[in-house]
Structure formats: C-alpha cells, structure tokens
Structure 1
Amino acid sequence: MPVAVVTDSTAYLPPELVRAHRITLVPLTVVLDGTEGLEGVNVLPADAARALGGRRVSVSTSRPAPEQFAGTYRRLLDTGADGVVSVHLSAGLSGTVEAARLAAAELGDRVAVVDSRSTGMGLGFPALAAAEAAAGGADLSRVRRAALDAVARTTIFFYVDTLDFLRRGGRINAAEALLGTALSVKPIMHMPDGAIVLLDKVRTATRGLARLVDLAVEAAGDVDVDLAVHHLAAPQRAEQLVAALADRLGDRLHTTYVTEAGAVVAAHAGPGLASVVVYRRPRPAEAA
C-alpha cells in the first residue's frame, strides 16, 4: 500500500474526492449549546448556521485528542500503509497540528505531520497533492514534500459579514473587530503566515465579493489554477463567485470545487462567509 494521507474535517473536501483519493479524515469537535458532536459526522454546516443565526453564544470547538490521531495512524500502518503523511489546519488557528505531532512522536519516523498554514481547501489542496503523490508510488519524504509544495502554491481569501465571530473566538484582536463594527465595513481577510489578518475593507457585500474575485485573479498570476469556493448559508454568493471567476480566468481555470464551510470555521466566521482558495498548478517543467 502507498503512503496513507490523513487530514482533518476543516479541509471541507468534497466527499467524492475523499473517497477517490483514499484520504482519511479526523473530525474536530464542536459544542453547540452544550451538546458535543463531531464536525461532518453529527454536526453539519446547517446546524452551525442555525445556531449562529440565532446568536447563541455557546458555540465552541476543540481539537482531536492525540490518542485519536495515534489510533488512526496505527490502524493505517497495521493495515499495510508504508507510512502516513498527516496534513492539518493551521497551528495559528488550532492545536490540531500539535495533537497530530504528539501522536506521530509515538510512531517514530513512519508518520510526518504538515502544517497547512490555512484552512478549508487551503488545507484540502495540500492533502490532495499528497494523496496524488502517494498514489503515484512516492515514498514518505516525497509525499510530505508534495504537501509542502502545495502549501506554498495555495492562497486563501475570505469575506465575512462581521468581525464579531472572529473576535469572540479569539482569532483576531478586539481593535480590528471594533474598527470593523464602528465603521460598518465588510472585512476581507487572508492568512499570509497561518494566522487570520485583515486585508481590506469594503462597504457592501457586493463590493466584498467583487474584491474577492480581484484578489483571486491577482493571486493566480499567469499560471493555470484550481479554485475552491466555500460559503456558509450563502449559496448565491458562491454561485456569483464561481461565475465571475470563470469569466475572469477563462482557460487558465481547470477545476472549481464548491462546498459549504463546516461547523468549526462557521463558529468563527459566522453566516454569510464567502471564501476563495487559489491553487496555482505547477508548470509542466516543474511537474516533471
């Protein structure tokens, strides 16, 4: 068996890709009004959207326990995997990577953990790159390198209706949140170093979506790209983004994935989230 690839539930990969690439997902925990569940298993995006839309404040998330990762790694190794590459949510947002590394330390050099420095398909694209390398027969070192190369090729931007949810979750500072609410602006965020940073401010949701398109096209540069569009309870915004990006990028756009953000990101971004993830595909010479 080739190297196995593990990621976590915040990758928001389309289920058909998870199955086709034999990727193992480890879910994060979400607590809604005191009821604990697993993201993507028994806590779905609609559950989080309803909770947040009702302004319930008791929405929290937690990383998987190291024992959960260790059990996953052992199962994959015991069933014939040569090794495991485990790609996860940014260490700047969660302790998930730390938990994975603690588990990997129990298994020596048969498990390599990669910090995607992102979330959503900013994590999903590196996991896919690792899985494709593994399917091609790459060893542990080369599968890990494929994931890291994809991290460097991936950029995420997202729009939120309010900074309040990010402030409550401690993902941005109070001064940035106050700035956004005081001026009634709509923030555009990115993750240049694995942490959420305010990039731009616009006055309306329409301008916010247009700015996301401009930023994604700029990030694409002159190479071919794959895109992912995420939303939370905002399918029409996702449709608008997909149409505008297809028009702007033309033949350079290969594949677009559209998924609803899960409960973990929802808890910190809130309903109305719209996000674009740009994966710059290797040029033919680089791929060779």
Structure 2
Amino acid sequence: MSYKVVIDSCGELPERLKADPRFDRASLTLTVDGEDIIDDETFDQAYFLKRVAESPNCPKSSCPSPERYMKAFESDADHVYAVTLSSELSGSYNSAVLGMNLVHEKNPDKQIYVFNSRSASVGETLIALKIEECEARGMDFDDIIDTVEAYIAEQNTYFVLESLETLRKNGRLSNLKAFVATALKIKPVMGATGEGTICQLDQARGMNRALVKMVDYVVEKASDSAGRILGITHCNCPERAYMVRDAILQKIKVKDVIIMDTAGVSSMYANDGGIIVVL
C-alpha cells in the first residue's frame, strides 16, 4: 500500500527523508518583532538566533492552516498520516485534525490519521521513522496506528537550555528567577510529561553538570533501549550533541542514533546551545 507522512516543521527530517516524496513538511511561521520567518528549507538559523537575541520580545510561532493540511492530505496515497508537535504547545495538532475533517467531508473513506506526538523536534522525527518502519513491514492501517500510538506513549523527551531568556520572555520564568539562575549559572533539566506539557525535572550549576543529570534521566527511564532509536537535536552545538550521545552509549545500547541541528521552531524553543534528547 502507498503512504504519505506529513510532519509539521517542528520535526526535523534527515536528508534521506527530505528527498523522499512520501514525506512532506507543513511549515510553521515564526515571528520576531513583526518579521515573519517561514520555517522551511529557506530557514537561516544563524539569522534567526541573532534576531531573537537582539529582541526584548519573545518570538512567536503560528501553526500551518487547516487548508495547508487539507491539501497535503488530498493525496493519491492509500494511507496518510500527520505528525504534529504536542497539542499542549501548539495549535498544529488541532489544525491538522480540521484539515483531515475537511478531506473527509468530500471523501469519508480516505484513510487519514493525525498523531499528537506529545513531544517536539526529534521526537516527531522518530515517530515518522516508526511509521515508515511499520509501512515497510506491510502492516494494516489500523495496526500501524495502534503500534505508533504505543510507541509515542513509551517515548521520553528531555532537554537542557543554555539560556533561560526565551522562558523569561514568554512568562514561564519570573525576571527575578531568570536573573538569579543566570547569575549562578544554573541550568534546568527539562522534560515532557505524558500529556505533552513541559516540566522541570532537575537543575544543576553549569551546562556540563546539567547534561550529566539529563543523561542519567535518559538511562534511568530507558525501556527496551536496544530496540529503539536514540534521537538528539542540538541548536548550533554539534560537539555537545556528540558528547551527550557518547555518554548515553557508555551506559545503554540502542538500535541506532540520529543527530540533527534544530530547524526553526525547535531553535526557538531550544535557543542557542540547547540540546534535545528523545528515546
């Protein structure tokens, strides 16, 4: 059976999948001080990070429209899937569902399913790869949905931020707390709850200590790691990403590892120097 996977642009795609016509990206739009920046192949990370650093305001994002998803779903493929960033963080999931409903008004038998990743960034990437794996095995549409939903439920997402400025600007941290944390070089170790919301797991003084704590969380929560892919995205800090990879692989075995630089939306959340790990 033919298939198509539509992933919103918070999920980075490896070069192999970018060249695969079965994979499509629905771009979000980032806004910094009134300037709209499309999160597509034209995205310039260095320029975006510079604009964010210079702005006193928090960057914002807007999700793809239901019509954009509808057009992507109107495909000749037998099975169509969407993967969106957590519905707790963006309207992308709801927009994709609306797009699916628009298609079903004309073609109620079209097999479409929208996955709420309850994650972001490389978490979405791994879900897209899981769909590809299931399709390659020739699984039925409903069985693929059940398998991928179970996979999502078992995923764990972690990240460490170099800077707290984005959290401060969007109101998640008070100015005083952000100032004290910055002055003391405190780095939060963050994660995603089962519902896809962001929570603070721990903190440490200094980036390296925070990364060590994050690695410990990854290892502690790893389940059937030998059969899973370790996904790491970094925002402009590849050496840090490889250091985290090596530290994890010293303690557990995994099926494979993918390391990528953050695209637009992930760069906005992670900020310069941030690391995201999903297993």
How do residues 100-249 of structure 1 correspond to structure 2 at under 5 angstroms?
A: 100-108=96-104, 110=110, 111-169=112-170, 173-174=172-173, 178-183=176-181, 184=184, 185-192=186-193, 193-221=195-223, 223-224=225-226, 225-249=228-252
Identify the range of structure 1 (115-124 vs 212-221) with the bigger mean alpha-carbon deviation. Answer: 212-221
Is residue 130–residue 143 contact of structure 1 (8 Å, CA) maintained in 2?
yes
Is residue 21–residue 131 contact of structure 1 (8 Å, CA) maintained in 2?
no
Q: 2:67 matched to which residue of 1?
A: 67
Unaligned ranges ≥5, structure 1: 279-288
1:84 aligns to 2:85 (yes or no)? no
- Residues 1:181 and 1:162: Cα distance change in structure 2 (over 3 Å): farther
> Separation in 2 of the partners of 1:34 and 1:98?
25
Q: 1:286 matched to which residue of 2?
A: none
> Separation in 1 of the partners of 2:91 and 2:223?
33
Q: 1:36 matched to which residue of 2?
A: 36
Q: 1:282 matched to which residue of 2?
A: none
Instruction: Quote the sequence identity (%).
Output: 28
Structure-1-length-normalised TM-score: 0.85
How many angstroms does 1:230 deviate by? 1.2
Is residue 155–residue 277 contact of structure 1 (8 Å, CA) maintained in 2?
yes
How many angstroms does 1:67 deviate by? 0.6
Root mean square deviation of aligned Cα? 2.2
> Separation in 2 of the partners of 1:135 and 1:147?
14
Unaligned ranges ≥5, structure 2: none
Is residue 28–residue 64 contact of structure 1 (8 Å, CA) maintained in 2?
yes
Structure 1's consecutive aligned runs of 4 or more residues displaced over 6 angstroms after TM superposition are: none
> Separation in 2 of the partners of 1:157 and 1:2?
34
- Residues 1:255 and 1:56: Cα distance change in structure 2 (over 3 Å): farther
How many angstroms does 1:58 deviate by? 6.1
